[in-house]
Amino acid sequence: CKILRCNSEYVAATLHLRGPGRGAAFCTALRSYSLCTRRTARTCRGDLAFHSAVHGIEDLMIQNNCSKEGPTAPPQPQPPAPNPQGFESLDICDYERSFLYKHGRPPGFQHCAAFGDPHIRTFHDDFHTCRVEGSWPLLDNNYLFVQATSSPVAQGSNATVTSKLTIIFKNMKECIDQKVYQAELDNVPAAFQDGSVNGGMRPGGSSLVIWERSPGRHVEIRANYIGTTIAVRQAGRQLSFSIRAAEEVARAFTEEQDLQLCVGGCPHSQRMSRSLRGRGRVPAETAQALCREMLPVEDVYFQSCVFDVVTSGDTNFTMAAHGALEDARLFLTDAEKLHIFQ
């Protein structure tokens, strides 16, 4: 699929065209762009960027009253004026800038998190507590694969915690090599499995980087080429995962990729109630007091904290819920969606 070449040629042809007087030259560039996409249609049928470009061209032709018939040779581009910020319009490995340039607005984002028991906050702001012992996919789309491996929080308990996370950034030949990140209890590295800290030797390699926020406890992975940021934390004897993903990246999957906890939440057979029936390892009143110190709003993060402390007897679970809430505060674009009440 050569849609990215079509995109680059269009950007180069229209870089110097600005304002209401661009008229005929802009329409010529759009027709040339449309012709290029038609030539790649057969090989690009399943490509998200291709379908986005086709719809974008149609919208732009309508907005600018362009005829579908007419010359298609693009005008010779003039050299772009120096940009003090060093912005390269042809840089396809900066998702947010490219999206803004193409659509005239910033992209939308979605947030998912898995922490504690584990508790899952889905991209659609549903909230489940799961038993899911073993390995389950949090994400499985065209760009990312994330798998969480869970084990019992304590011997004889139905509750489980995430003990291992595997994150695969799939090959994107224009930007990065395929990279695998893996974290386990007491081993939260600030590097990919091959020892690198970025996307490799390709021109866009720096669009994927790992930052160590707290040694051995908290890393942040920024994948600018797909508009995505991931946080991995360890609190006590559990790992947590949070992601802020561009909407079209989060939705880039097929019907076969139907099991994703970040998309559909836990399967019904794996969902647990957070009611505190029976005897726990810590009295509910004690757990509530501990959680209230870290989580003053009694939302699902607070309820999850109480459930985890009672079930496990481990007070470090207050930090797990607090970290998840802090990630949500950073990753959610709509502050009103921060707290979920059930």
Order of all β-strands in the sheet with 208-214: 127-129, 119-121, 109-115, 238-246, 228-235, 218-223, 208-214
Mean pLDDT for 222-239 is: 95
For 298-330, what is each residue's pLDDT tens digit? Answer: 999 999 999 999 988 889 899 999 999 999 999
Mean pLDDT for 94-106 is: 90
Order of all β-strands in the sheet with 160-169: 134-140, 144-152, 160-169, 179-184
Measure the CA angle with vertex 16, ends 14 and 20; round to 5°.
Answer: 85
Sign of the dihedral through C-alpha 291, 297, 301, 306:
positive
Q: What is the pLDDT of residue 73?
A: 64
For 102-120, what is each residue's pLDDT tens digit? Answer: 888 899 999 999 999 899 9
For residue 296, cis peptide bond before it (omega within 30 degrees of 0) = no
CB atoms under 10 Å from CB of 109, counted, come to 21
Q: Which residue type occupies 190?
A: A
Predicted confidence (pLDDT) at residue 15 exceeds the cutoff of 90: no
For 55-77, what is each residue's pLDDT tens digit? Answer: 888 888 888 888 888 877 644 44
Domain ranges of the chain: 2-64, 109-271
Question: What is the helix (H) or strand (E) element at residue 115, kind and residue range?
Answer: strand 109-115
Cβ neighbours of residue 319 under 8 Å, at least 6 residues apart? 235, 236, 294
Mean pLDDT for 26-44 is: 86
Cβ neighbours of residue 114 under 8 Å, at least 6 residues apart? 120, 121, 138, 148, 162, 240, 241, 242, 261, 262
Residue spans of alpha helices (H) in 40-112: 48-63, 95-103
Q: Distance between CA 232 and CA 206 in Å, rounded? A: 20
Global pTM reads: 0.73
- For 109-271, CATH number? 3.40.1000.10
Q: What is the pLDDT of residue 156?
A: 67
